[in-house]
Amino acid sequence: MSSQIDHLLTESRKFAPSAEFAADAVADASLYERAAADREAFWADQARDLLHWHTPFTEVLDWSNPPFATWFADGELNVAYNCLDRHVEAGDGDRVALLWEGEPEGDERRVTYAELTDEVKRLANVLGDLGIGHGDRVAIYMPMIPEAIAAMLAVARVGAIHSVVFGGFSADSLRARIDDAGARLVITADGGWRKGKVSPLKPAVDMALADRNGSGVQETVEHVLVVRRGENAVEWTEGRDLWWHDVVPRAAADHVAQPFPAENPLFILYTSGTTGKPKGILHTSGGYLTQATFTNRVVHDIHPDTDVFWCTADIGWITGHSYVTYGPLANGATQVLYEGTPDTPHPGRWWEIVQKYGVTILYTAPTAIRSFMKIGRQVPAKFDLSSLRLLGSVGEPINPEAWMWYRKIIGDKKAPIVDTWWQTETGAMMVSALPGVTETKPGSAQVPLPGISIDVVDEDGAHVGTGNGGLLVITEPWPSMLRGIWGDPERFVETYWQKFQKQGYYFAGDGARLDDDGDVWFLGRVDDVMNVSGHRLSTTEIESALVGNEAVAEAAVVGASDETTGQAVVAFVIVKQSYLDAHSPAGLADALRTWVGEQIGPIARPRDVYIVGELPKTRSGKIMRRLLRDVAEGREVGDTTTLADTAVMSVISAQVK
Ligand code: PRX
Give per-residue pLDDT as tens, 448-465: 999 999 999 999 999 998
pLDDT classification of 17: cutoffs 50, 70, 90:
very high
| Mean local confidence (pLDDT), 534-562 | 91
Which residue has its alpha carbon closest to ligand 1 atom 18? 395
CA distance 607 to 276: 19
Gap from CA of 233 to ligand 1 centroid (Å): 38
| Mean local confidence (pLDDT), 392-412 | 95
Gap from CA of 298 to ligand 1 centroid (Å): 19
Of all residues in the chain, the percent with pLDDT exceeding 70 is 97
Mutational test site, ligand 1, from 4, 269, 396, max ligand atoms within 8 Å of CB: 396
The number of distinct structural domains making up the chain is: 1
Which residue has its alpha carbon closest to ligand 1 atom 21? 396
pLDDT of residue 1: 38
Which residue has its alpha carbon closest to ligand 1 atom 11? 423
Asked whether 433 lines ligand 1 (CB < 6 A), one says no
Gap from CA of 482 to ligand 1 centroid (Å): 15
Give per-residue pLDDT as tens, 565-578: 999 999 999 999 99
Give per-residue pLDDT as tens, 64-104: 999 999 999 999 999 999 999 999 999 999 999 999 999 99
Residue 169 within any structural domain of the chain: no
pLDDT of residue 544: 87
Give per-residue pLDDT as tens, 500-511: 999 999 999 999
CA distance 69 to 224: 35
**Residue 379, C-beta contacts closer than 8 angstroms, at least 6 positions apart:** 347, 348, 351, 372
pLDDT classification of 643: cutoffs 50, 70, 90:
confident
Asked whether 505 lines ligand 1 (CB < 6 A), one says no
Instruction: Give phi and psi for 263, each to the nearest 5.
Output: -90, 15
Which residue has its alpha carbon closest to ligand 1 atom 15? 423
CA distance 330 to 47: 12
Give per-residue pLDDT as tens, 179-205: 999 999 999 999 999 999 999 999 999
Give per-residue pLDDT as tens, 415-452: 999 999 999 999 999 999 999 999 999 999 999 999 99
Give per-residue pLDDT as tens, 350-390: 999 999 999 999 999 999 999 999 899 999 999 999 999 99
pLDDT of 139 strictly over 80: yes
pLDDT of residue 274: 78
| Atom number, ligand 1, closest to the C-alpha of residue 529 | 1
Give per-residue pLDDT as tens, 598-609: 999 999 999 999
CA distance 550 to 591: 12
Mutational test site, ligand 1, from 324, 394, 541, max ligand atoms within 8 Å of CB: 394
* Cross-strand pairs, 650: none
Q: Is 5 helix (H, G, I), strand (E, B) or coil?
A: helix
Residue 560 within any structural domain of the chain: yes
Asked whether 319 lines ligand 1 (CB < 6 A), one says yes
Gap from CA of 297 to ligand 1 centroid (Å): 20
Query: Residues annotated as binding site for CoA?
Result: 194-197, 319, 533
Residue 325 within any structural domain of the chain: no
Asked whether 75 lines ligand 1 (CB < 6 A), one says no
Gap from CA of 465 to ligand 1 centroid (Å): 23
Q: Is 467 helix (H, G, I), strand (E, B) or coil?
A: coil
Instruction: Give phi and psi for 543, each to the nearest 5.
Output: -60, -40
pLDDT of 641 strictly over 90: no
Residue 171 within any structural domain of the chain: no
Asked whether 506 lines ligand 1 (CB < 6 A), one says no
Asked whether 538 lines ligand 1 (CB < 6 A), one says no
pLDDT of residue 625: 87
Gap from CA of 293 to ligand 1 centroid (Å): 19
For residue 122, the Cα-to-chain-centroid distance in whole angstroms is 29
pLDDT classification of 213: cutoffs 50, 70, 90:
low
pLDDT classification of 611: cutoffs 50, 70, 90:
very high
| Atom number, ligand 1, closest to the C-alpha of residue 431 | 26
Residue 128: which H helix or E strand, with range?
helix 113-129
Gap from CA of 510 to ligand 1 centroid (Å): 9
pLDDT classification of 3: cutoffs 50, 70, 90:
very low
Asked whether 318 lines ligand 1 (CB < 6 A), one says yes
pLDDT of 218 strictly over 90: no
Gap from CA of 427 to ligand 1 centroid (Å): 11
pLDDT of 614 strictly over 50: yes
Query: Residues annotated as binding site?
Result: 194-197, 319, 395-397, 419-424, 510, 525, 533, 536, 547, 552
Asked whether 511 lines ligand 1 (CB < 6 A), one says no
Residue 635 within any structural domain of the chain: yes
Which residue has its alpha carbon closest to ligand 1 atom 14? 423
Closest CA to 445 of 483, 393, 497: 393
Amino acid at 287: G
Asked whether 396 lines ligand 1 (CB < 6 A), one says yes
pLDDT of 10 strictly over 60: no
pLDDT of 532 strictly over 50: yes
Tell me if 48 sits within 8 A of 294, measured CB to CB.
no
Whether the model clears a pTM of 0.75, i.e. scores above it, the answer is yes
Of all residues in the chain, the percent with pLDDT exceeding 90 is 84
Which residue has its alpha carbon closest to ligand 1 atom 23? 397
pLDDT of residue 11: 66
pLDDT of residue 80: 98
In the chain, what is the straight-line distance between the N-terminal and C-terminal CA atoms, in Å? 24
Range of the domain at 574: 529-656
Asked whether 525 lines ligand 1 (CB < 6 A), one says yes
| Mean local confidence (pLDDT), 136-152 | 98
pLDDT of 560 strictly over 80: yes
Which residue has its alpha carbon closest to ligand 1 atom 25? 421
What CATH code is carried by the domain that includes residue 546?
3.30.300.30
| Atom number, ligand 1, closest to the C-alpha of residue 429 | 14
Closest CA to 139 of 121, 119, 166: 166
Mutational test site, ligand 1, from 369, 454, 510, max ligand atoms within 8 Å of CB: 510
pLDDT of 523 strictly over 60: yes
| Atom number, ligand 1, closest to the C-alpha of residue 393 | 26
Asked whether 522 lines ligand 1 (CB < 6 A), one says yes
Mutational test site, ligand 1, from 440, 521, 522, max ligand atoms within 8 Å of CB: 522
Question: Residue 522: how many CA atoms within 13 Å on its side-chain side?
Answer: 28
Asked whether 285 lines ligand 1 (CB < 6 A), one says no
pLDDT of residue 217: 74
CA distance 424 to 434: 21
Q: Pairing state of beta strands 265-271 and 161-164? A: parallel
Asked whether 264 lines ligand 1 (CB < 6 A), one says no
For the chain, what is the mean pLDDT? 94
Mutational test site, ligand 1, from 315, 406, 421, max ligand atoms within 8 Å of CB: 421
Asked whether 279 lines ligand 1 (CB < 6 A), one says no
Asked whether 512 lines ligand 1 (CB < 6 A), one says no
pLDDT of residue 511: 94
- How far, CA to CA in Å, does 476 sit from each of 40, 219, 223, 504? 10, 41, 42, 8
The C-alpha angle with vertex 601 and arms to 589 and 543, in degrees rounded to 5, equals 55
Gap from CA of 421 to ligand 1 centroid (Å): 6
Asked whether 271 lines ligand 1 (CB < 6 A), one says yes
Residue 601 within any structural domain of the chain: yes
* Burial degree of 543 (CB within 10 A; 0-12, 13-18, 19+): buried
